[in-house]
Every structure is written in C-alpha cells, then in structure tokens.
Amino acid sequence: MPAEEGAPSPSFDALVVAAHPDDAEVQMGGTLAKLARRGQRILLVDLTDGEPTEFAEPGVRARQATEAARILGVERLTLQHRDRLLVDEPGIRLELARLIRQHRPRWVYGTGEACVHPDHAAAAAITRAAVFLARLGQWERVPGGEGLSDQEPWAPDRLFFPHCKMEPAWSEIAFAVDVSEVYEVKRQALAAYGSIFKPAGDQLLMLYEAEDAYFGRMLGVAFAEPFRAASPLLLDDPTVVLASVHG
Ligand SMILES: [Zn+2]
C-alpha cells in the first residue's frame, strides 16, 4: 500500500527481521551495505540477543552487534525473546506487526525457509505472520490484539527472504544482489562478532563466504547474495535487469 498523500513518510525504508544479532549480516550484509550507501534507512530487528555465546561473556555480543550495524550503516533494535527457545506465538507476532506499523517500511526482509536452527524457522514464520497482520484493521475487536488498535494498518511493498546459510544452497532464487564492491564491508561487519567467530580462519565464515562466491560464480560476478520473494518480481522497465554470464 503506497503512502497516501500528506501521510508521514516511512521512518525506515527497510525492516530486516532475524532471530539473532549476526543473522542479517551473514545472510545479506552486502545488500545492507549497498542499500545504506544508496541512502536507504534500514532497521535491523533481532528477535533475541543471541546469548549465550561461545567465546564471550554476556553483553559482549550486544556491543559487537552495535559495531556491526555502524559498519554497515544501519540501525538496530534487539528484542529480548529467548535465544534457542524462540517460538512463533501471538504475542511476538503482534509485537513485530506493531513495529512494522510504526516504521512503515517499503520492504521487509525475513529469514528464508529454515529447519536446522529452530530459532531461524520461528523467525521466518513470525515475520510472515507479522507482515500479514500489520495490514489488518479492527484490532480493537480482537481479544489480545487491542495494542494495534491505535495504529494505522501498513502493508509493505515487498517481503523478501535472504538465504539462511545453515541450509543447503538454494537451486532456485528470485534474484541475487551483486555485492562484490561492498564485500569487504560485509567481512568487516562479520569480523565485529568476535564472540561467535574466531579471529582468523573461522570455518563458518569461510563457508558463508563460499556460498556468496558460489552465487556470484553462477551469475558472473565475484560475490552475490541470493533472495526469494513472497510473490514474483514485477518490472516496469524490463531493461533494468543486469546481464548474467550465461544469459
Ligand atoms: Zn542465527
């Protein structure tokens, strides 16, 4: 739903929802850097604080998450749901729907299909549900939903899903973003998470980078981040699509 004439402009262009601080950076850190460099205002919403971590005391990850957001040029909000035990339930759906109605983003990004990590699967389901609920009215007539009744409905233009890198690489995607020119920024943002990744030669980081290189290889660039979409992409100008190495 486009903003009506005279309505306040959206406070964020994109809202990115993930289970843990570092998920958004891993899945689409290059895309975030590119969006930010094009002047887009982006809010990362972590549904949990990602504690405990393997290599640091409680609280360290939060500071690292702040630093990663600064490096990418985005803002961050960390909610306090339980890491490892995140569940898709009405309260968290409504909480996220309220954030969507508050910030009125054009685009929402949520974790793609996931089953390895239950928090990621829950985050995917919560995001889909919240985007739908955010566009509905009549909340004063829904027991438990009254908290949304003071806000106008909001329907983002698009719901996109970056790939959860704990899952096998997708064979079909809606599109990919060429992140070659900002890949060093993505590396720096991930390097901020010393509580999760080892300083040098971290195997997980190497595998994450290998996936971005794999999608880049398929499309003829150095690095690309893959996305699926809730509905097919619609082009006004068919000439805007970039060339691919194999046509
Ligand atoms: Zn995660």
pLDDT reading at 4 higher than 90: no
Question: Quick count: other Cβ atoms within 10 Å of Cβ 219?
Answer: 20
How remote is the CA of residue 120 from the centroid of ligand 1, in Å? 6
DSSP string, 124-144: HHHHHHHHHHHT---GGGSTT
Across 30-34, 53-57, 62-66, 220-224, least confident range:
53-57
Question: Quick count: other Cβ atoms within 10 Å of Cβ 160?
Answer: 21
Q: Full-prediction pTM beyond 0.85?
A: yes
Percent of the chain at pLDDT > 90 equals 85
How remote is the CA of residue 19 from the centroid of ligand 1, in Å? 5
At 113, is the pLDDT very low, low, confident or very high (cuts 50, 70, 90)? confident
Give dist(CA 26, CA 24) in Å, integer: 5
Instruction: Return the CATH number of 14-240, one of 3.50.50.60, 1.10.286.10, 1.10.3720.10, 3.40.50.10320.
Output: 3.40.50.10320
Give residue limits of the domains in the chain.
14-240
Start-to-end CA span in the chain (Å): 34
The predicted pLDDT at position 10 comes to 56
At 109, is the pLDDT very low, low, confident or very high (cuts 50, 70, 90)? very high
Give dist(CA 162, CA 152) in Å, integer: 28
How remote is the CA of residue 23 from the centroid of ligand 1, in Å? 5
Rounded to the nearest angstrom, the gap between the alpha carbon of residue 176 and the centroid of all alpha carbons in its chain is: 14
pLDDT reading at 1 higher than 50: no
Q: Largest Cα–Cα distance of the chain, in whole Å? A: 55
Backbone angles phi, psi at 73, to 5 degrees: 85, 30
Q: What average pLDDT does the segment 240-247 reach? A: 90
How remote is the CA of residue 26 from the centroid of ligand 1, in Å? 9
How remote is the CA of residue 164 from the centroid of ligand 1, in Å? 8
